[in-house]
A and B are shown apart, each in its own frame.
Chain A
Amino acid sequence: MPAPDLSRRRILQLAAAGLGAGWLPVTFGQDKSAGRTVITRRLPDGHDLPAIGMGTWITFNVGSDPEARAGRTQVLRTFLEAGGALVDSSPMYGSAESVIGHALDEIGGDPSVFAASKVWTPDGDATAEQVAQSERRWGLERMDLMQVHNLVAWEAHLEHLLEMREEGRLRFVGITTSHGRRHTDIERIMRDWPIDFVQASYSLANREAEDRLLPLAEERGIAFIANRPFQGGRLIDRVKRHPFPVWAREAGLANWADFLLKFLIAHPAATCAIPATSRVEHMRENMTALRGPLPDEALRRRMVEHVQEL
């Protein structure tokens, strides 16, 4: 299944919808049911990406279990139908990449996924092999984004990935970290290497990325992916024990997932947040954050204060 030609898609979008909203797979920037514009962020190459993506750590590692695979297919279908595009995975996530590939195959047609995976091996010469493995598992001819997972053998992998990008075998190159680890190294790479994406943990309860990574991403024109937006589920479980605030509803926020995710994508340097879930109803909640008004700075401060008090 070939990855969509973004440029062609963008031209078609502009011509057909006249939105000027950039690349938006399938929905062309519109919710089919409600007709509301999807929130997008501009990528380093000028294309736009829906600001809510999907993580697959744990949730898509279900092996060959047919029942669980059918469930994950429904989750991915819901995500794509709601206007989502970026799906993030890694060979470190066990069977997740193969499960995504199976789901894309089941969904069929031309599911316009923005395929993001990672290189995760201490062997610095195995970069191309791992990229090919991801393409095979996803059932794609070309990955959109390959990232060096947790900076494992990062120098060798980055060199190879950048070469592959130059040769047109990849669209974008990035690096990842999580749980606030190795931010100093991440900053150094962001300054010294021509990467397109950086991925780090960023949530309403863990805003360390706001100190240096996000400003640096903005300065260097690097797209920022926020992983662990719900802190592995602990944050959303905690806030869901409390009633949803009236003032948040009046501000246009629909539910706690919308609250936590819109806070992140409202940051001017944040490109995409990637919550993970194995449940369709949770995916629907997550995708409410792809539409509607974003909180301004004053409202974001109030959101932080409110969650700190819970």
Chain B
Amino acid sequence: METWLSYRLADLLMFSPAIYARLFERLNETLWPGHALLAALSLAMLMLAGSRTGVAHRLAAGLLAFAWGGVAWGFFGLYAEINLAAPWFAAMFAGQTVMLLMLAAIGPGLALDRPRQVRHWLGLGLAIWGLVFHPLAWWAAGRPLAGTELFAVAPDQTAIATIGLLLMARLPRRGRLPLRAILLTLPVAWLLISALTWWALLTAF
């Protein structure tokens, strides 16, 4: 234990920032021109979640599950080549996929409320940030357009947008089950892991 405590976060880093950024370029190369379909599905998810029918809400939750499953399979499949811990992270994303599928199948689905409370507005801000501005921020920071991190492709954007959508959603307690808190756990956990990774990347190089 004493030995492990002597490691700094940066000592555990296995790859360089450039190689991490290249993952997104390579993913986008593989997906192109499928980005148009992804954008259409993302838009459809928002419209379905904002509609008034239960079936639409279930479809919206299903599409959000699809986004998480896509990241678990696509991004983490590639990330596993350079990070030995990636399969564990993939399992987290697969777990969230299953929970969102359950939300679609046996829960209320994803039904967005009109923004009335602080929680709603915070959620709206995060959803817009994750879906639109976070990818643009990378581009503005100098990363090539080909390396843009997108919702349903990159884990950070997917987690941020999901947290936003869950904060905006009508998710009543199911008996003793705090649905919202349960569904927020893995996205928040991933963002903490990602923040630590970026902290290590930025301080080690």
Binding site for B on A (CB under 8 A): 58-59, 61-65, 67-68, 92-95, 179, 181-182, 232-233, 278
Do A181 and B82 have beta carbons less than 8 Å apart?
no
CB-CB < 8 A to B205: which residues of A? 233
Do A179 and B19 have beta carbons less than 8 Å apart?
no
CB-CB < 8 A to B6: which residues of A? 179, 181
Do B83 and A94 have beta carbons less than 8 Å apart?
yes
Do B11 and A179 have beta carbons less than 8 Å apart?
yes
CB-CB < 8 A to B82: which residues of A? 61-63, 94-95
**A95 to B205 Cα, complex, angstroms:** 20
Q: Of the candidates B14, B26, B78, which one forms a contact with A94 in the assembled complex, judged by CB atoms under 8 Å apart?
A: B14
CB-CB < 8 A to B81: which residues of A? 63-64, 94-95
Known: A94-B82, A179-B6. A59 touches B11 (CB 8 A): no
Q: Of the candidates A63, A179, A278, which one forms a contact with B78 in the assembled complex, judged by CB atoms under 8 Å apart?
A: A63
Interface positions, chain B 1-45, Cβ under 8 Å from A, are 3, 6-7, 10-11, 13-16, 19, 22-23, 26
Known: A59-B16, A65-B22, A179-B11. A94 touches B3 (CB 8 A): no
CB closest residue in chain A, given B15 = A61
CB-CB < 8 A to A58: which residues of B? 13-16
Known: A94-B83, A232-B204. A68 touches B3 (CB 8 A): no
In the complex, what's the smallest C-beta–C-beta distance from B203 to chain A, in angstroms? 10
When A and B form their complex, which 6 residue pairs have the shortest distance between CB atoms, in order from nearest?
A63-B81, A63-B82, A94-B82, A94-B14, A61-B15, A61-B82
Q: How many B residues face the partner with a CB closer than 8 A? A: 20
CB-CB < 8 A to B141: which residues of A? none
Do B3 and A181 have beta carbons less than 8 Å apart?
yes
Known: A63-B78, A65-B22, A65-B26. A182 touches B3 (CB 8 A): yes
**A92 to B84 Cα, complex, angstroms:** 8
**A181 to B7 Cα, complex, angstroms:** 10
**A62 to B15 Cα, complex, angstroms:** 7
CB-CB < 8 A to A68: which residues of B? 19, 22
Interface positions, chain B 61-103, Cβ under 8 Å from A, are 78, 81-84
CB-CB < 8 A to B7: which residues of A? 179
Do A61 and B14 have beta carbons less than 8 Å apart?
yes
**A61 to B14 Cα, complex, angstroms:** 7
**A232 to B8 Cα, complex, angstroms:** 13
CB-CB < 8 A to A232: which residues of B? 10, 204
**A64 to B77 Cα, complex, angstroms:** 11
CB-CB < 8 A to B23: which residues of A? 63
**A45 to B15 Cα, complex, angstroms:** 35
In the complex, what's the smallest C-beta–C-beta distance from B140 to chain A, in angstroms? 24
Do B15 and A94 have beta carbons less than 8 Å apart?
yes
In the complex, what's the smallest C-beta–C-beta distance from A185 to chain B, in angstroms? 10
CB-CB < 8 A to B3: which residues of A? 181-182
Known: A95-B82, A179-B6. A61 touches B204 (CB 8 A): no
CB-CB < 8 A to B22: which residues of A? 62, 65, 67-68
Known: A63-B82, A179-B6. A93 touches B204 (CB 8 A): no
Do B19 and A61 have beta carbons less than 8 Å apart?
yes
8 additional A-B residue pairs with CB within 8 Å, beyond A58-B16, A65-B19, A65-B26: A61-B14, A61-B19, A62-B22, A62-B82, A68-B19, A94-B15, A94-B81, A181-B6
Listed A/B pairs (14) with beta-carbon separation below 8 Å: A58-B13, A62-B19, A63-B19, A63-B23, A68-B19, A92-B14, A94-B82, A94-B83, A94-B84, A179-B6, A232-B10, A232-B204, A233-B205, A278-B16
In the complex, what's the smallest C-beta–C-beta distance from B27 to chain A, in angstroms? 11
In the complex, what's the smallest C-beta–C-beta distance from A226 to chain B, in angstroms? 17
In the complex, what's the smallest C-beta–C-beta distance from B29 to chain A, in angstroms? 11
**A93 to B13 Cα, complex, angstroms:** 10
CB-CB < 8 A to B16: which residues of A? 58-59, 278
CB-CB < 8 A to B15: which residues of A? 58, 61-62, 94
CB-CB < 8 A to B26: which residues of A? 65
**A181 to B4 Cα, complex, angstroms:** 10
CB-CB < 8 A to B83: which residues of A? 94
CB-CB < 8 A to A182: which residues of B? 3
**A179 to B5 Cα, complex, angstroms:** 12
